[in-house]
Amino acid sequence: MVVVYKVDRLTRSLSDFAKLVELFDAHGVSFVSVTQAFNTTNSMGRLTLNVLLSFAQFEREVTAERIRDKIAASKRKGMRMGGPVPLGYRVHDKKLVPCPDEAAQIRAIFERYLALGCLNGLAVDLQGEGILTKRSPRRDGTIRGGIAFTKGPLAYLLRNRVYIGEVIHKDRHYPGEHEGIVPHELFDAVQAALSDKAQAQGSARGNTGSWLTGLLYDDRGNRMTPNSARKGALHYRYYVSRALETGQRCDAGSVPRVSAPEIEQAVREALTPPSPDKPSPSEEMPLIAHVSRIVVHPSHLAISFVKPDEAEHDERASGAGSLEPSLLNVPWSARPGRRRRQIIRAGSDEGTASLRPMRVETRARLVDGIAKARFWLDELIAGRVADTHAIAVVEGCSERSVRITLSLAFLAPSLIRAAIAGTLPEGSGISTLMNAPMVWGEHADARSSNGA
């Protein structure tokens, strides 16, 4: 028998209590309240109990509504309703009062962001100036804050409307009782710069496929988070050490940045043979659910597995054996940041020395164009699109551009292999190959006339 002082001391939710009663009944347990004359051993007691619980839940919800209304009304009046004290202020009689020294630091932070235009650069600059986060004593005597700024806290600080004398409540702001310490013109300029930066980064961000997020670390213990960059039509994905993003390059590991597709492929091959029919990592690699940590070293990847509990050993008998050893070292080396441009050709040729290979950017655009051309051609043949005009509308380009790109779908296999390998000579871009002869046997002559 479970005994309580009052029924609402156990729970004030009917749904929670229903689950408790089900658990009690499964174990032959009754429920009794000391100060209330009922128990769950008879039907009348259970009815009384449900009525009392309904009133207890109603009381809790009404109290919560009144508290929310009180907070909203106080915010509309500009009153401070508690919470951490922002840098630049102190609390006096439950009101925010500007601190002259910290207020000067806040204005300097806003001005430096306009000058730098980068949160990471601003964090490094503030660290060099010795500007730290707000130091606030806790009740237990410890200190909250007093550490170097990082990207997240800086973004929050620069968006905080408290610094122009306003109070925020549920995405709405009201004039506050405290004095602002940042001019409105400076604050608005920073908001415009932040919005432009966020819009530019949002259009270039594409990390939804970074399935190693949360598992990857460098060899100094820093978490590696997904990042991306765009150069023209090219999109690159990376995993970057957290130390780089916080401006602490000296604390980063020996491999602070790594190509996402390369390391994902290495992990995929280490855990299971490639399976193109199952693109989802969780389906393609059952062991990925058991991976706890992947440490990136210059010469190998150290993959650590979660050891199953003894109670789950029998249940996972089919897969537990594959978790041994608990640490798997996979040979791997990071590709150098700068690649030497060269054409590798068997034998010796006097004219080889004068040849220059195509640029990496040109090769990437060409391979991307060939892939698009083949996809569009399949769509036209299958009847999923009516004509090139429909493709142009979907892609947001001109119909002429679609027709020019479609010509790349008819290149000879030898040319496509050379484009993928990057062995085409300089100048063999999309504009050159879209006018290639329709007869594949003449493509070699066209390459020779172009210097190959």
Is 266 found in the same domain as 319? Answer: yes
Indicate which CATH number applies to the domain containing 23.
3.40.50.1390
pLDDT in tens, 59-111: 888 888 999 888 888 888 888 887 888 888 888 888 888 888 888 999 999 99
Contact by Cβ (8 Å): 163, 87: no
- The pTM score is 0.44
Is the per-residue pLDDT at 47 higher than 70? Answer: yes
Contact by Cβ (8 Å): 132, 145: yes
Q: How many whole angstroms from its chain centre is CA 103?
A: 33
Is 409 found in the same domain as 320? Answer: no
Between 319 and 17, name the one with better pLDDT: 17
Is 225 found in the same domain as 309? Answer: yes
Is 49 found in the same domain as 120? Answer: no
Domain that holds residue 152: 89-204
Nearest to 268 by CA among 309, 340, 212, 318: 212
By CB atoms closer than 10 A (0-12, 13-18, 19+), residue 46 is middle
Is the per-residue pLDDT at 228 higher than 50? Answer: yes
Is 50 found in the same domain as 28? Answer: yes
The secondary structure of 208-242 as a DSSP string is TT-TTTTTEEETTS-BEEEEEEEETTEEEEEEEEH
pLDDT in tens, 337-395: 555 555 555 444 444 445 566 677 777 888 888 888 888 888 888 888 888 888 888 88
- Say if 345 falls within a structural domain: no
By CB atoms closer than 10 A (0-12, 13-18, 19+), residue 358 is buried
**What pLDDT sits at residue 367?**
84
pLDDT in tens, 178-203: 888 889 899 889 888 888 776 655 54
* Structural domain count of the chain: 4
Is 160 found in the same domain as 123? Answer: yes
Q: Are strands 216-218 and 291-296 parallel, antiparallel or unpaired?
A: parallel
Taking CB atoms within 8 Å and a gap of at least 24, the contacts of 250-254 are: 251/220, 251/222, 252/218, 252/220, 252/222, 253/217, 253/218, 253/219, 253/220, 253/221, 253/222, 253/296, 254/218, 254/219, 254/220, 254/297, 254/298
Q: Which DSSP category does 280 fall into? A: S
Contact by Cβ (8 Å): 240, 257: yes
- Say if 391 falls within a structural domain: yes
- Say if 84 falls within a structural domain: no
What 3-state class would DSSP assign to 422? Answer: coil
Whose tokens are 């604050």? That residue is 187
- Say if 58 falls within a structural domain: yes
